Amino acid sequence: MGTQKIVLRDVKHGPPGSRLRLLAPLRYLQIHHPEKVRYDYVVPLATGALSWIAYQAITPELPIFGEAGLLKFTREFLIMAVPFMVGALASVAMGFPGQHIDRRPPGAELLLDGRVLTLRQFVCYLLGYLCFVAFVTLIGSIVAPLVQPTISKVLASEPFWNDAVFRAGTLVLFQLVAILVVTTLWALYFLTDIINRPAGSE
């Protein structure tokens, strides 16, 4: 009896219709909770924007590229942080079933696609989202110094656009780092406070 080959696009996940599998960690943003909008969007975007404005106001301007640049320190930190977060995600996802980790978290329900998530499910989405953002930031911090000389050379005769590209790139960097910092702090709050509250507490 013949078998049919299953390919990636044949795998279904979530409600009707398939999704881009490599963007699955971003489903964390679709989880509904009274406080999530604040810590997923409002606080990170405000933090990133204010940090970027403060950076623009610093004189002399802090370097982005080079051995003393912000990208180098960001890259070195993420090279250590990304494997750690992936390992933490694997530990939670593959851990043994238990009454504590597989129960509904106390307080407001965490909803995704109309179903209530358990602690394990939510922590997996949370760590997956952190891994995704950290990995994207790491790739950006590696690619940016490689393409920067070429971009500067191409736009050498257009100082306005050269400056605009640089400032847009720094804004993206500050926003990504702000998302990482705020989400990590929110995760620490959740994992040290909410997750350890007795069952049935609000």
Total tally of structural domains belonging to the chain: 1
Q: Is residue 45 part of a domain?
A: yes
pLDDT confidence bin for 132, thresholds 50/70/90: very high
Does a structural domain hold residue 84? yes
Question: Which has the closest alpha carbon to 195: 107, 95, 127?
Answer: 107
User: pLDDT-derived band of residue 4, with 50, 70 and 90 as boundaries?
Assistant: low
What pTM, to 2 d.p., does this model score? Answer: 0.83
* C-beta separation of 155 from 162 below 8 A: yes
CA separation for the pair 96, 155 (Å, rounded) = 56
Beta strands in the chain (DSSP E): 111-112, 115-116
Q: What is the pLDDT of residue 200?
A: 55
**Residue 162 one-letter amino acid:** N
In a domain, 154, yes or no: yes
Q: What are phi and psi of 200, to 5 degrees?
A: 90, -10
User: Residue 90: inside a domain, yes or no?
Assistant: yes
The token pair that represents 9 in the structure block: 């696009």
Whether residue 202 is contained in a domain is answered as no
- Look at residue 95 and tell me if it is in a domain: yes
Tell me: the pLDDT tens digits for 80-131? 999 999 998 998 888 777 666 777 777 778 889 888 888 888 989 999 999 9
- What is the model's pLDDT at position 17? 46
59 pLDDT band, cuts 50/70/90, is: confident
Token pair for residue 92?
A: 């939670």
Residue 41 falls inside a structural domain = yes
Terminal Cα distance for the chain, rounded: 55
By residue range, what is the domain housing residue 51? 29-196
**Is residue 11, in this structure, part of any structural domain at all?**
no
**What are the b/e assignments for 115-134, b being 16+ CB within 10 Å?**
eebebbbbbbbbbbbbbbbb
Q: Higher-confidence residue: 82 or 21?
A: 82
